[in-house]
Structure 1
């Protein structure tokens, strides 16, 4: 089967010149290779609207067939556009996407957007407003499986603490890496380690939502 990923930079394969920054999508194949092939169409800066406008959604649907899974994770860039409010344009776009995936006899899976790393008083703070809640509500309304990455990532940051969670993100000292000669402190985009942690969780949650081949279960 195919797992087709549609999302933003937190899912996408980052350009080589941005390494070691990474979305979780490129880290997913090793966790699912026994039963699925991953096709990652996620793109940096994408919203539920621009993903369609740029033709990426048509490409995702063209790949999808019976028994495949189309995994949707948006929100970071929708949040920047007033008309893509959680229970307005954002939810409407996701609802339409779910219907079109089902029209291809494929299985839609919704992900709440991964949380940014932001602490206050030693605790991770929510930064994505009502977008995660809108995804959960839509999943319940449409009978679609939801992987709650927002709640899970925020819990993970809390477990690791303000200092320990740094390693999940692209934090580099000046001169540490030639791609980021001036250094970088990015609390939105994952490091390779962070991407792998999220990808492993996605694989674990995704398997029960799709028809994993019996042969792959060992």
Structure 2
């Protein structure tokens, strides 16, 4: 069995010059048994549309065989494009992806988008509109398992609090990172610490669903 990942930068492996920025998919392999090989096709900036247009979805499907698990997480960039609204282009594209994975004998699992870290007056704000709700609804409609990363990350940030949750994200003071000499406060992309925590949760959910063994 393989685990194949489709998604955006919050899932993708980042280039070495951005280290320690990371998507959670880059840390999933060590969280599972060695026989559950992980193939990460996620790409920064990807939408449910561009992922197909750039050929990444075709590559993923080409490697999918019966019994493989395909995790699908989009939304952050779809949200920026009017024609990919949650209940129109986005949901239509996800339905098509699910159908194509099933046609290959694979097992599609939808993931709600990880939440951005956006606090206002001490309260965590929801930034992804209807996108997480649509994924949950598609899970019920299509008989799919859903890994609710949006709810889990919201709970995580709230438990850590506004200041402590910064440690999960890509925050650097001026001069602390060679690529961002002027400093950076990025509340969308994860530091390795945050990405690893999310990967651990995904692995636990896959174990609960019966797709991988317990972590070593």
TM-score, normalised by the number of residues in structure 1: 0.96
Unaligned runs of 5+ in 1: none
Number of the residue aligned with 2:159: 159
Q: 1:103 to 1:192 in 2, by over 3 A?
A: same
| Count of matched residue positions in the alignment of Structure 1 and Structure 2 | 216
Q: 1:197 to 1:217 in 2, by over 3 A?
A: closer
TM-score, normalised by the number of residues in structure 2: 0.97
Does the 8 A contact of 2:174 with 2:181 survive in 1?
yes
Number of the residue aligned with 2:7: 7
Report 1:1-218 matches (<5 A): 1-212=1-212
Per-residue Cα deviation, 1:106-157 (whole angstroms, up to 9, x for no partner): 1000000000000122121100000000000000000010000001101100
Does the 8 A contact of 2:32 with 2:203 survive in 1?
yes
**Structure 1 residue 217: deviation in Å?**
8.1
Does the 8 A contact of 2:31 with 2:215 survive in 1?
no
Q: 1:217 to 1:40 in 2, by over 3 A?
A: closer
Classify the secondary structure of the residue corresponding to 2:126: coil
Please tell me the root mean square deviation across aligned C-alpha atoms, in Å.
Answer: 1.4
Stretches of 4+ moved more than 6 A in 1? none
Per-residue Cα deviation, 1:159-208 (whole angstroms, up to 9, x for no partner): 00000000000000011122222111000000010000100001111223
Does the 8 A contact of 1:174 with 1:180 survive in 2?
yes
Does the 8 A contact of 2:24 with 2:198 survive in 1?
yes
Per-residue Cα deviation, 1:46-85 (whole angstroms, up to 9, x for no partner): 0000000000000010111111100000000000010111
2 CA distance for matches of 1:23 and 1:169? 11
Deviates more, 1:168-177 or 1:30-39: 30-39
**Structure 1 residue 35: deviation in Å?**
4.0
Unaligned runs of 5+ in 2: none
